[in-house]
Structure 1
Amino acid sequence: MRIKVLAAAGLILLGIVVFSIYLGSNNESVPDDKGIIQKIEVKNSSFLEVSEDWDGFETVIIDTDKLRKAADNGQVTLSLMGEEFEVRIQEVSRQNGKNGENAYFYIGSIVGSKQSRAELYIEGEIFHGSVELGEPWNVTYNIAHTDERYNGKIVHVMFMIDWEKERERLEQEDIDPLQFFLINSDSRKHVISIEIFDFNNKSIFKETYTLGFEDEISSPKIDAELGQYRYEIILDNNSTFEQKVQADHATNLCSSEKLYINLIDHPEYPMEIGIEVA
């Protein structure tokens, strides 16, 4: 049986990665004390493909009705990978869900941790959640639904990120170089100058390009340090534009931002600027 994690609501989860799990036939469910989350014990596990950024994960089924009722009452006990945490609900909103059911969004914090934050989203049987514990734990638990069922219930995946371990992993990663791409979609020829300044306002790159209709140019890869960089763009020795980008570690979840500049035939807005994160 194949389990595929579906895209989670962007405002809740950070860095969800699509992956697959193949469950063996000898599975048992282990309920938590409150009966909201039931862990699925996978006994036949010769199959897993998970993100190297996760510091642990579990497959679970969730009683969303019981979870919603507890959240509506203002406090929820969640069993997260063997640890129980009391979530005090502080904000509640309701909206129309994609599947025609009411969707409930809860924001709260962990009792005893001022730096914590919990975001819970429920739509029918579907649950997305992110619980950031803050000090002294410095870990985040994320929960996303899959397209598979177990005993009639939707299978969810809970995974943990330990931010101290994540920092150590990032320190071992190289910085992804900066790069930009130029496209001329205008019928006229254009001259464009690009200069890049670092966070100390020091110029690290400067070049001028001439582009005819449908010309495309890719810049060389530009070595950078971790931080924010400023692009100064001069079009036809006349109009000046600025854009900031972030240089980051080359990881699975994020990397340095790539700048795309498309020249177009428009009297007020002669270029389209986009940023892509690989």
Structure 2
Amino acid sequence: MEWSKITSDKTALSLIAIVFVIFTIEGLFYASFLGEDGIINDVDYTIAEEDAQAHWDEYKAVTVNVDNLRQALDNGNLSLKLLDEDVSIIIFESDKADGYYRGYANGVAANQAEFSFGENAFSCYVDLGTHSYQIAPSWDIVDNKMIYAVYMTDYKKEEQRHEEYPIDPLTFEISNEDNLKHNISIEVFNPSSSLIFSEEYSISPGEVIVSPDISEFLGKHRYVVVLDGDYEFEESATVARSTGLGSSEKLYFNFINNSEYPMEVGIEVA
């Protein structure tokens, strides 16, 4: 298991807050090409093969004109080019204040489509019955533009993968080797940047707390952790399938008796 120390210095914390980027750029050339829908734009940007998730049967990197997308969603209908497939979407439910839109795709009520907007990015999910598309932010900014991954999951292939290699759920563990009682709050965001877990804990010296199963959503999950209501930092862990070579990553948060570095964070592949 690998361990890292979390400093109690606020300035240092802001510098060590880790942003995990799943993409790498090959070369120095960067260019985007306006998509036919005026929303999703091709970009000369390479997703490293080792960073692509197992359920990404097809994928590519894109940029998104978020203003055009919000305008189309507000109008109630839109057409998107998802990889090589044209998809039409009708919106029947929206909460503009929360940045949430829900509709259906290609005229089929069962084909669910959801769009969620955060402060700095958005994500979407479109179910087409036999396969689905998702667009998720990488949190990598190039030329002042967010890089997104648009990927397709084939349900038959996913079912075969699930039978052969079941998903190992996301969990974490908190321990206290200090001689003082501490408080810790943990928020977990899935790969689509949706908040899926939020909990506050009070932990006594010598106590160990094991989380419930949090997620079986494949991919990298982001943790936002606050120590004693004051010191904030971020970590991440990946949900994966259980194979002979490994499975999901598990985070360990351990309070220690050190005023400068009050916590150690470890990560282990189950």
TM-score of the aligned structures, taking structure 1 as reference length = 0.51
In 2, Cα distance between equivalents of 1:19 and 1:130: 19
Task: Confirm or deny that 1:160 pairs with 2:152.
Answer: yes
Per the alignment, residue 139 of structure 1 pairs with 131
What is the number of equivalent residue pairs in this alignment?
A: 171
Mapping of residues 261-272 of structure 1, within 5 Å: none
Q: Give per-residue Cα distances to partners, 1:38-87, cap 9 Å, x unaligned.
A: 01133x67765221221121111111111111111110111101111111
Alignment CA distance shift 1:160-1:45 (3 Å): closer
Q: Matches of 2:167 and 2:121 in 1, distance apart?
A: 37
SS in 1 for 2:90: strand
Q: Which residue of 2 aligns with 1:111?
A: 106
One-letter amino acid matched to 2:66: T
Q: Which moved more, 1:143-152 or 1:20-29?
A: 20-29
Residue in structure 1 matched with residue 257 of structure 2 by the alignment:
none
By percentage of residues, which structure has more helix?
A: 2
The correspondence for 1:122, drawn from 117, 121, 124, is: 117
1:26 corresponds to which residue? 29
Q: 1:174 to 1:53 in 2, by over 3 A?
A: closer
Give the match for residue 61 of structure 1.
63
Matches within 5 A, 1:69-218: 69-95=71-97, 103-123=98-118, 126-134=121-129, 138-173=130-165
CA deviations over 1:219-255 (Å, ceiling 9, x no partner): xxxxxxxxxxxxxxxxxxxxxxxxxxxxxx7368879
State the AA in 1 paired with 2:134: N
Conserved? CA contact 1:24–1:45, under 8 Å: no
State how far apart, in whole Å, the 1-side matches of 2:29 and 2:153 are.
Answer: 28
The alignment yields a C-alpha RMSD, in angstroms, of 4.1
Change in CA separation of 1:90 and 1:173 when aligned onto 2, cut-off 3 Å: same
Of structures 1 and 2, the one scoring higher in RCO (CA 8 A, sep 6+) is 2
Query: 1:130-180 deviations in whole A, cap 9, x for unaligned?
Result: 11111xxx111111112222332211111221111111122223697xxxx
- Cα separation, partners in 2 of 1:174 and 1:68, compared to 1, 3 Å: closer
Percent identity over paired residues: 27
Structure 1 residues 29 and 20, CA gap change in structure 2 (3 angstroms): closer
Tell me, in whole angstroms, the C-alpha distance in 1 between the residues paired with 2:89 and 2:207.
55
CA contact under 8 A between 2:137 and 2:146: conserved in structure 1? Answer: yes
Structure number with greater Rg is 1
Matched-pair contact (CA < 8 Å) for 2:24–2:48: no
Gapped regions of structure 1 (runs ≥ 5): 8-17, 96-102, 177-213, 217-248, 256-277
Structure 1 residues 46 and 140: alpha-carbon distance in aligned structure 2, compared to 1, 3 A threshold: closer
- Name the counterpart of 1:51: 53
Cα distance between partner residues in 1 of 2:111 and 2:35: 22
Change in Cα spacing, 1:80 to 1:45, as seen in structure 2 (3 Å) is closer
Unpaired stretches in structure 2, ≥5 consecutive residues: 1-17, 169-205, 209-240, 250-269
